[in-house]
Structure 1
Amino acid sequence: MLRSLICFLLLMTSVAYGQQTFKNPVLPGGPDPWCVYKDGYYYYMHTMGNRLELWKTKNVAQLKDAPHKTIWTPPASGPYAKNIWAPEIHYLKGKWYVYFAADNGDNQFHRIYALENSSPDPTQGTWEFKGKVTDPEDKWAIDASVFEHHGKLYMIWSGWEGDKNGRQDIYIAAMKDPLTIQGKRVKISTPQYPWETKGDLGDPNLKHIDVNEGPQMLQHKGLLFIIYSGSACWTDDYALGMLVADEKSDLLNPASWKKHDQPVFRQSTENKVYAPGHNSFFTSPDGKEYWILYHANDHPGDGCGGKRSPRIQRFSWNKMGWPVFGTPLKTDTLLQIPRS
């Protein structure tokens, strides 16, 4: 009875103050969620598979009511016509860019491609396809993300060392500009710990895949963190791992990156949240709250498909300046919206 009364009072408070609370997920479905904040708005994307869709909202917690539009549809055939995964929108050097992975219908040909838009508002203007973004080796690549550090751009992504599937590693490369990789790629993480090597397929020709993917940059007080997804997305063991480097180090030197030996965010059977992963980060509009955006499943065995839904929750920092993500929250948890 008391719990029901508390829930009722919280609901009335939410109504009185204009939806100041919310519950996860923020959309019914949406794998590989990403958002960026600029000029009072969040711009959000997730994997649609056959097109690129862009949301615009003042509050990520209210994505369900946010306007969105298709900004690009692929050609019917060709090297980037199918399996359009993990789009990210970035504002770099005065223009908007969307990076995404695509292939011709055969996964072994997945590569990174980019769009460009010079409009101040990325939901307006024209999105122009700019082609493939690759390093000289031009190997299989997905989940590209771009960040700026000390005035220089870098791309991080998940790739194969050779031409055969079996292991996905994390790579980094310097960029000459938002569309051009400068120099060779450098491998900075490979699946090595038990928690990041869960990936049985049940296929006698391909029995196992070890996965590091979905790398995301997080910078805080002199430290650079790459938060990535480990183990296969079709397992409930899909979880987030962490690499850390000093901001003064050479980011293209693998020795600069130290890997945490345990996941920093993983499934919670108690809270009924499974396979949390492929995250991104944002701050509240006032810049004082830190939030993680990730996808997860509601049931064990839901796999790596459309049942994954985007969720957000706050995180904190410990005394060493490292992120503390906690535990994935129950979907019936009532949360305060990001503070404006």
Structure 2
Amino acid sequence: MKISRRFAGLAALLVAGLLGTTVHIVTTAESADAAQTSLRAADPSVLRVGGTYVGVQSVGDNGIAVRQASSPAGLATAAARTVFTDSQRLGEVWAPEIHYDGGRYYIYFTMGAGANHRMYVISSATADSGYGGATKLNLPDDRWAIDGTMFVFNGQRYFVWSGWAGTTNVEQNLYIAKMTSPTTATGSRAVISQPRESWERVVGNPFINEAPEAIKDPNGQLHVTYSANGSWSEQYCIADLRLRAGGDPMYVWDWYKSNGCLFGSNRSTMMAGWDPTLYVNGPGHHSFVLLNGDINTSPPAGSSFPLMFHAVAKGTPYAWSNRYWYTGSFMWWGAITYSRANVPGSTTNTGYSIKFFE
């Protein structure tokens, strides 16, 4: 029998009480369970504007479409309106990410072929129409870049993406840069994560940190969750970077990494105290469904904190073509220590982590 998320949350409270763990619940079930939607696609990006949920996806190999619905699950059957087509045929259009800033919608996406993948942006005052031509983001060093996301933290706008250190495909790191507007990066880039832990190097060539998503915990600390291991493998999973209180997002040693996957399908790579998935393989490239896509609204008012992610159903061959969008949820889990060694600064940091639910 599948246990509903509501009962899972209650069980978590009971366990936490027994263990003396500080827990902050930000979600109980809106419905009985999370579910596979009917949308066979990857890389969900979803936000809420008023009472409308807006989702964006790549279509074909060179387009972007927007869907709108009254619930996250409803996006799968909502009409998909194409808002961008790469008429120049620059290459693949991957992983669009939608944001709402200053009354306008911004969609960031990767476009290019091979080593020429770069980040681009389009914008409109309307979610599903009126977008102009694509503008290439002037990211520092102008290297291969995918999966970019924008957020505002402590009054400063930042952009985080997955990219290469040089001009060859050795590994995908997470980089951050400051922005002076939703379309303009400034200054230098700084690395904040590299796939160097054993649990994120199970599947590689290259080894991967990608699909970053920012969110702020109940203590006001910044987190960037991300996907590790190759997306072509069921070892794909979600991990967490937590910025120490008062830390500088541009300084790598102010970030502390979870000691394993927080959402994954293989027990051997999960962080201690976290269990693997029961119903899906390789969950990854998720979207925190935030009001206006703004991390400063998280946790939002109300009892539900929805999540969208892609995965492959257990019992189905793991392949990109078998990925679906799934609805899910998460809760903050307090008093969790992330540890590290042989680096500057403190070796441990204690704060909120995240429990994900299928």
Q: What band does the TM-score fall into relative to the shorter chain?
A: 0.7 to 0.9
Match of 2:80 in 1: 68
Cα shift readout 1:148-187 (whole Å, capped 9, x = no counterpart): 1122210000000011112000000000111111101100
> Could you say what secondary structure the match of 1:176 adopts?
strand
Whole-Å separation in 1 of the counterparts to 2:62 and 2:283: 23
1:318-333 to structure 2, matched below 5 A, reads: 318-320=333-335, 322-326=352-356, 329=358
Match of 2:289 among 279, 282, 285: 282
Match of 2:308 in 1: 293
Residue 287 of structure 1 deviates from its aligned partner by: 3.9
Change (3 A) 1:300 1:139: farther
Match of 1:260 in 2: 258
Change (3 A) 1:177 1:23: closer
User: Scaled by the length of structure 2, what TM-score is found?
Assistant: 0.77
4+ long deviations beyond 6 Å: none
Residue 86 of structure 1 deviates from its aligned partner by: 0.6
> Could you say what secondary structure the match of 1:276 adopts?
strand
> Could you say what secondary structure the match of 1:63 adopts?
helix
Residue 270 of structure 1 deviates from its aligned partner by: 6.9
1:123 is aligned to 2:125: no
Residue 286 of structure 1 deviates from its aligned partner by: 5.3
Change (3 A) 1:306 1:164: same
Whole-Å separation in 2 of the counterparts to 1:52 and 1:76: 14
Change (3 A) 1:177 1:326: closer
Whole-Å separation in 2 of the counterparts to 1:248 and 1:97: 29
Match of 2:146 in 1: 142
Whole-Å separation in 2 of the counterparts to 1:95 and 1:281: 19
Contact 1:198–1:235 (CA under 8 A) maintained in structure 2: no
Contact 1:222–1:246 (CA under 8 A) maintained in structure 2: no
Match of 1:337 in 2: none
1:225 is aligned to 2:236: no
Whole-Å separation in 1 of the counterparts to 2:197 and 2:34: 33
Contact 1:236–1:301 (CA under 8 A) maintained in structure 2: no
Match of 1:216 in 2: 213
> Could you say what secondary structure the match of 2:109 adopts?
strand
Residue 22 of structure 1 deviates from its aligned partner by: 6.6
Change (3 A) 1:132 1:283: closer
1:61-210 to structure 2, matched below 5 A, reads: 61-77=73-89, 81-103=90-112, 106-117=113-124, 119=125, 121-124=126-129, 126-200=130-204, 208-210=205-207
Whole-Å separation in 1 of the counterparts to 2:301 and 2:170: 44
Change (3 A) 1:247 1:57: farther
Change (3 A) 1:53 1:244: same
Cα shift readout 1:309-333 (whole Å, capped 9, x = no counterpart): 1112121122336243245x3xxxx
Match of 2:269 in 1: none
Residue 279 of structure 1 deviates from its aligned partner by: 0.8
Whole-Å separation in 2 of the counterparts to 1:64 and 1:135: 33
> Could you say what secondary structure the match of 1:157 adopts?
strand
1:55 is aligned to 2:67: yes
Residue 103 of structure 2 aligns with an amino acid whose one-letter code is: G
> Could you say what secondary structure the match of 2:177 adopts?
strand
Let me know the Cα RMSD of the aligned residues: 2.4
Residue 44 of structure 1 deviates from its aligned partner by: 0.4
Whole-Å separation in 1 of the counterparts to 2:123 and 2:57: 18
Contact 2:235–2:265 (CA under 8 A) maintained in structure 1: yes
Residue 243 of structure 1 deviates from its aligned partner by: 0.4
Residue 237 of structure 2 aligns with an amino acid whose one-letter code is: A
Cα shift readout 1:22-70 (whole Å, capped 9, x = no counterpart): 7521233110111011122111012333210001111112223323200
- What is the identity percentage for the equivalent residue pairs of Structure 1 and Structure 2? 28
Whole-Å separation in 1 of the counterparts to 2:151 and 2:128: 22
- Which structure carries more relative contact order (alpha carbon 8 Å, separation 6+)? 2
Residue 93 of structure 1 aligns with an amino acid whose one-letter code is: G
1:271 is aligned to 2:278: yes
> Could you say what secondary structure the match of 2:253 adopts?
helix
Change (3 A) 1:270 1:318: closer
Point out the more displaced range, 21-30 or 191-200: 21-30
Change (3 A) 1:300 1:144: farther
Change (3 A) 1:296 1:20: closer
Whole-Å separation in 2 of the counterparts to 1:170 and 1:313: 25
Residue 147 of structure 1 deviates from its aligned partner by: 0.4
Whole-Å separation in 2 of the counterparts to 1:22 and 1:272: 12
Residue 302 of structure 1 deviates from its aligned partner by: 3.7
Residue 248 of structure 1 deviates from its aligned partner by: 2.7
